[in-house]
Structure 1
């Protein structure tokens, strides 16, 4: 999927930074040892400070200068620069959800490298992967993770694989606005637990965005945010959804699958719910809390 060159990137709700400076503060880590194991619990999750034990560190996550957002001007920049693609995807999501949801308000987007402070979820390192913090209504992205999605998790890559990740985190923002995000912490683990239902709903919301992304026009430019999706685009998104299934990650990390500890859903479930949202374009079809058939 590519952006229309004529769309204009709005960086007004985006900031960038990273690194750590001297001082004391909270870091999210948990000592689980290695990106792969950490991601079993945290990839695409909600509020990492509630999932991983906090540990005091001699740093407070003072952000160093980050990516120069002035490089992000047009759809052409989004097609060539990964950080601009994240911001432009956020613009597209804002455009779609403003039409679908009464009272929609934009989340903040934070690009970082290495680690960053959050406004309600403690200090987060890149090891947690992309995440949404409800405390400050911000979606956080270290774009280096997109490479990890391919090299460590076997995703096919491609722009829509990356855009799916952004759309999933915005899905958590939608849940936060709806007042249902807290259900992730109720019965949080297990194949039918609140965690899995929350994550699958966010996958479905990502699919809803994909349904409208190439037909929603940007206000002020009168061009659609994205060009029409191809079969390869959808295959890339499904590949990314499959790559981060609990069963696939557990088997790769430990050699066995333990559904009782699932927090995000299986590869098949994640693909199913993204597809449900994409085919129907109806957020009402994404109510994973109202079904006994998660897939």
Structure 2
């Protein structure tokens, strides 16, 4: 388990008496990939190449032959976190409970903004997982599957975020990642997720990803109003999110993998764009200001 980072880093402060709903997060434990699963290239370059295509993504269908009837079966849950994660004090002390608190806050916020909002659960896993979008290994990073409406997260990704991509593994960096994935869920409910596709600096894929970054910032601005946090996020918290957003820009990852920056291969946006759109969402606090589909980005 990743320890809570303190010292010079900001620490998210949950309201001690906030009532957590642990049923929104499943702990699926360690899983394998029946039928072989996704073949992952060796070394840092192979992992980074996967992150280029998939981190903070939503469509992993086809990685192992797709989901649906061809899927060998969704891995059963080994239990939700209701017993373990009950109050805000638990979220302050335990990483899995912190995920529960962030997820609870995200869902409470978006339920006030999306008519007929339908919750999306989060599944924590280790090594590999089966989903209705197909099978995935941990190296693909966090992702959202629109078929089963789950966010999938191996917490070891955050160590990778720090060791390979240069961002700090801090509580709010983690919250940014989770909020981005729930941004994809909102897009799925509202229909904008369908506009994703292709590669390139102006592609639908880039526009979808940048909107999810913006939605992440919008939630951050309004999170304290959900009642799960004791106070608004600090400037230090926001800087952690911005550092994580910058680290996963297409140009930054291409450079870290030893290649040249190739805008024609962009799928998520540059570091500057990701920082800009998160900031737009945070400063405005308004989902309507997250239109990445009109004009240039």
Same fold (TM over 0.5): yes
Give me the TM-score of the superposition, normalised by structure 2: 0.87
CA deviations on 1:114-164 (whole Å, 9 max, x unpaired) are 11111x211111111000000001101111111111111111332111000
After superposition, give the CA deviation of every residue in 1:8-31 in whole Å (9 maximum; x if it has no partner). 110222212143469x44623465
- Residue 280 of structure 1 deviates from its aligned partner by 0.4
After TM superposition, the structure 1 = structure 2 runs for residues 72-87 of structure 1, keeping only pairs within 5 Å, are 72-87=85-100
Task: Find 1:140's aligned residue among 152, 166, 173.
Answer: 152
**Judging changes above 3 Å, is the alpha-carbon distance between structure 1 residues 66 and 245 closer, same or farther for their aligned structure 2 residues?**
farther
Counterpart position of 1:159: 171
Partner of 1:220: none
For the residues of structure 1 that align with 2:32 and 2:212, how far apart are their CA atoms? 34
Q: Supply the distance in 2 between the matched residues of 1:69 and 1:213 (Cα, whole angstroms).
A: 21
Partner in structure 2 of residue 181 of structure 1: 193
Aligned-CA RMSD value: 2.2
Asked if 1:191 is matched to 2:201, the reply is yes
Match for residue 169 of structure 1? 181
Q: Aligned pair in 2 of structure 1 residues 144, 67: CA closer, same or farther (>3 Å)?
A: farther
Cα deviation, residue 6, structure 1: 1.2
**Within 5 A, what are the aligned runs for 1:193-212?**
193-212=203-222
Give the alignment of 1:202-281 within 5 angstroms.
Answer: 202-217=212-227, 224-281=228-285
SS at the partner of 2:257?
Answer: helix
**In 2 relative to 1, CA 114–193 (structure 1 residues): closer, same or farther, beyond 3 Å?**
same
Higher strand share: 1
Q: Please point out which of 19, 31, 34 is paired with 1:8.
A: 19
* Alignment gaps of 5+ in structure 1: 218-223
- Per the normalisation by structure 1, the TM-score is 0.87
Tell me which moved more, 25-34 or 147-156.
Answer: 25-34
After the TM superposition, which parts of structure 1 deviate over 6 Å for at least 4 consecutive aligned residues?
A: none
Q: How does 1:95-106 map to 2 (within 5 A)?
A: 95-106=108-119
* Alpha carbons of structure 1 residues 109 and 64: separation in structure 2 relative to 1, 3 Å: closer
The 3-state SS of whatever aligns with 1:36 is helix
- The Cα shift of 1:257 comes to 0.9
Instruction: Classify 1:151/1:66 alpha carbon distance in 2 versus 1 (closer, same or farther; 3 Å).
Output: farther
Q: Distance in 2 between matches of 1:61 and 1:136?
A: 10
Q: Contact 1:26–1:60 (CA<8 Å) still a contact in 2? A: no
- Structure 2 CA distance for partners of 1:71 and 1:134, relative to 1, 3 Å: same
CA pair 238-12 structure 1, distance change in 2 beyond 3 A: same
CA displacement, residues 179-235 of structure 1 (integer Å, 9 cap, x when unaligned): 1212112xx210110110000000000000001001233xxxxxx435221110010
Q: Deviations for 1:91-122, whole angstroms, at most 9, x for unmatched residues?
A: 0001111112221111111111111111x211
Q: Which residue is 1:287 aligned to?
A: 291
